Amino acid sequence: MENYSNPRKFAFKIIELLKTTDIKQIKLVGSLSENNFDEYSDIDIELNDNKQSPVENINIALNSISKKYDILFSDWAKSLLPDKYVLSVFLKQKNIFRFIDLTCFKDANFSDTTRDQLPQDKIYHIFKLWICNAKQEIRNRHDRNFIDLLFVKLFINNDSISNKTKFEKVLDWLHTNSDNNYLLKECDRIMDKINDNIPITLAK
């Protein structure tokens, strides 16, 4: 398992790798490009090439990443369709928060890809949403924490329970429904830190 201590350095490694494809434009965006990242930041990469459809561009990029890095799972952000195509790619690495978001915008030259055409697994989608929200909980960015929305995907809404309990309940659901011990262990580790109110120390 590789260890990527410097997120910007790692992001540029990914960019270099993607430049070996024939995708015309590959751009680092988001916090890493704006230099306001932290240890929980993901890597946002924008792809642009009108030779092929947005989904094809993203698949080419995914393909390229798989040559050098080990993919844990990937998940489409279907709610952003059809204007924006985003695939989150989680790699087998010590910092689970440092996943790659591959983004490509709608291209009028190609017909839209519908939600049904993109594969998605409910359990892994919940994993992604849990990790994304956990990151905001750790950062104390409650304005960006949508654990309520995730919670009601699985349980009946209950305003009287705390965010922490909601995180726990969703994680319990994942334990019941998934046998991916690697991911569950990572999430347990994050949950412990949320419970302890201690900022998580990530592997360097």
Partner 1 sequence: MFNQYDKKYATKKFYWGKEPTSLCYKTLEMFPPVKPIKLLDVGCGEGRNAVFFARNGYDVTAFDLASAGVEKTKQLAEEAGVSVNAFVADMNEYRLTENFDIIFSTGTLHYIPEEIRKELFQNYKEHTNENGLHVFSVFVKKPFIEPAPDSESTAKKWISGELMNYYHDWKIEHSIEEIFDCMSGGIPHKHVSNRIIARKFSGEL
Nearest alpha carbon to residue 194 among 136, 124, 128: 136
| Only segment of 66-74, 144-152, 169-177, 187-195 that touches partner 1 (CB under 8 A) | 66-74
Closest to partner 1 by CB, 68 vs 144, is 68
Which of 23, 72, 132, 138 forms a contact with partner 1 (CB under 8 A)?
Answer: 72
- Using a CB cutoff of 8 Å and minimum separation of 24, what contacts does 151-158 make? 153/126, 154/126
Q: How far is the CB of 162 from partner 1 (least distance, A)?
A: 30
158 contributes a contact to partner 1 by CB under 8 A? no
Nearest alpha carbon to residue 96 among 43, 49, 150: 43
Q: How far is the CB of 65 from partner 1 (least distance, A)?
A: 9
| Other beta carbons within 10 Å of 134 | 24
- E strand or H helix at 89: strand 84-91
Burial class (CB in 10 A: 0-12, 13-18, 19+), 120: middle
Closest to partner 1 by CB, 43 vs 72, is 72
| Only segment of 9-17, 22-30, 38-46, 121-129 that touches partner 1 (CB under 8 A) | 121-129
22 contributes a contact to partner 1 by CB under 8 A? no
Interface residue list for partner 1 (CB under 8 A): 1, 56, 59-60, 62-63, 66-67, 70-76, 87, 92, 119-121, 123-124, 180
